Amino acid sequence: MVNEQEESGNPVGTEQLSFSTQSLAPVLDPAKTTARGENGGSELAAAYDVLIRYDSDTNEFQPRLAESLTQEPEGLRWTLKLRPGVRFSDGTPLDADAVLRSFNRYTAAKGDGAAIWADAVETTIAVDPQTVEIKLRKPWTTFPSVLALGYGMIVAPSAGEGETFKPIGAGPFVLDHYSPNEERVFTARDDYWNGKPNIARLRFIALPSSRQNLETLGANGVDIAFLRGYSAAIYDTIDKGFPGYFNILNSGSTQLVNNRDGRPGADVRVRRAIALALDPKVIDQRGENGVGLPTKALFDERSQWSTDIQGLPYDPDAARSLLDEAKTDGYDGTLNYVALEDPRSKSIGLAVQSLLQAVGFTVNIVPANNAGDIVRKVYAQRDYDMALGGIGLYDSIPFVGLQGTLGSTSSSNFSGYSNPEMDALLGHLQAAESDDAFRQILGQIQTLWNETVPSVPTSALMIFVAWQKDVHGVVPTATNIMLLDKAWRG
């Protein structure tokens, strides 16, 4: 927490609290909208709450809708006890049967992380109305993390599907109305399990620029603002004394490389040449005026998961030599590079183009008009050689992020990278029994990453969720989602 406020006395009722985020979730369904703070996670939590909350002070997961989550001594069985008396906003009970139904629905819809769940979870059983038993087929030490995200956002049986779907959950708020690209408004529940929220109305709007978020916050146009990636604006927000929650998104700015057959990046020599040709400090100077967090390591040095293994160095001579080898074997040196047209991304794209062309590549920048273009071309169609994007490794869910990015069978493996040795290391990471063991395996993953270069991180990203100085009771959880049932202004 940054610029923490002093004790503020007893909460008072607040007519409305407004929250500007990077984008409004088009669908308020946890199986279809990835639960991340920047693109709908706080909206999802408002409607559904979460079974488990990530406590950033202790780096541990704590019960929320759940009363407890315990692991049996053999390590393959988890028991989830539900908090008694919790009801969905339609009045029906949030019981074990509803939880199982929501789990199965999420898996069938292939929500974010569903492939990991399907691979690791053998059975889920309702022991009694308040108890769910989850049996694993393999060790998964950080299993609670998935119950803090999509799997932990329980959808009521009455929600329906398709065009009839309604966001019915057990959260503190119910949806009042949604105007695409304009606003999403919630109203407080009188019968929320943890007491009626202090806020009568909760309004979300989208302001994609961090500078725009700061200016709107400063003009008292919003109560809470989500700033991501524009370091100067985040520093300015902190310097102006706004309180909030500061976090770092590891590998948040990454030069994504398509590893698939038929693409230049199918040749590991080309991938290594790209990595060795890039100087993250130069890219940071161009894109962030030198105040960002440049690094080629998967986890930034400020992360709890940082290791002693660094990313590949800047070595243009070695890059040129590898590229020459690939050209001798028939590669023409051309790369089509997809990048957004906003000023920051454009500056980074031009820096990357310049560095790569200095060692002999020919880089054609393919402009993307908006983030949706990037998602479509890179993550859906996989139609790119290189792209300016992000891997996004949150400290709260490192295994989930790495498995999704690197797993050979992962549906979210945007690069097409496939390596049996990496798959084995991910399995060891999943089963790691201590933080030290976890970091040791992360070091091995970083070493293999340097050898095989799935893509090239060039910077971690700053994230700052800021609020007005008289806003209180905002509680962060995993992936920068904010829980707002106890928030108030006064």
**DSSP-derived 3-state class of residue 405:** helix
Instruction: Spell out the residues 6+ positions from residue 425 whose beta carbon is closer than 8 angstroms to its own.
Output: 441, 444, 445, 448
Q: Residue 99's pLDDT is what?
A: 98
Dist. CA 301–CA 310, nearest whole Å: 9
393 φ, ψ (degrees, to nearest 5): -100, 100
> Taking CA 486 as the corner, what is the angle to CA 482 and CA 490, rounded to the nearest 5 degrees?
105
Dist. CA 65–CA 185, nearest whole Å: 23
Domains of the chain: 1-242+468-490 (3.40.190.10), 249-462 (3.10.105.10)
Q: Which two structure tokens, joined as six digits, stand for 406? A: 């690197």
Dump strand ranges (E) for 7-162.
14-21, 52-55, 60-63, 66-71, 77-82, 121-128, 131-136
Q: Residue 479's pLDDT is what?
A: 97
Q: Which two structure tokens, joined as six digits, stand for 166? A: 């309604």
Q: Residue 132's pLDDT is what?
A: 98
Q: Residue 181's pLDDT is what?
A: 85
Q: How does pLDDT run across 311-320, given as a tens digit for each residue? A: 999 999 999 9
**DSSP-derived 3-state class of residue 234:** helix
* Amino acid letter, 153: M
How many CA atoms are closer than 13 Å to the CA of 118, on its beta-carbon side?
A: 15
β-partners of residue 232 are: none
Dist. CA 348–CA 339, nearest whole Å: 9
Residues of the chain with pLDDT under 50: none
Instruction: Spell out the residues 6+ positions from residue 22 whose beta carbon is closer than 8 angstroms to its own.
Output: 38, 39, 206, 207, 208, 226, 228
Answer yes or no: are the C-beta atoms of 54 and 477 closer than 8 Å.
yes
Longest dimension (CA), the chain: 73
Give the Cβ contact number of residue 333 at 10 Å. Answer: 18
Q: How does pLDDT run across 341-384, given as a tens digit for each residue? A: 888 999 999 999 999 999 999 999 999 987 778 888 888 899 99
24 φ, ψ (degrees, to nearest 5): -85, 135
Burial class (CB in 10 A: 0-12, 13-18, 19+), 93: middle
Dist. CA 355–CA 182, nearest whole Å: 40
Q: Which two structure tokens, joined as six digits, stand for 235? A: 């520093």
Q: Residue 160's pLDDT is what?
A: 95
Q: Which two structure tokens, joined as six digits, stand for 32? A: 């279809």
Dist. CA 367–CA 431, nearest whole Å: 42
Q: Give the single-character DSSP code of 473.
A: -
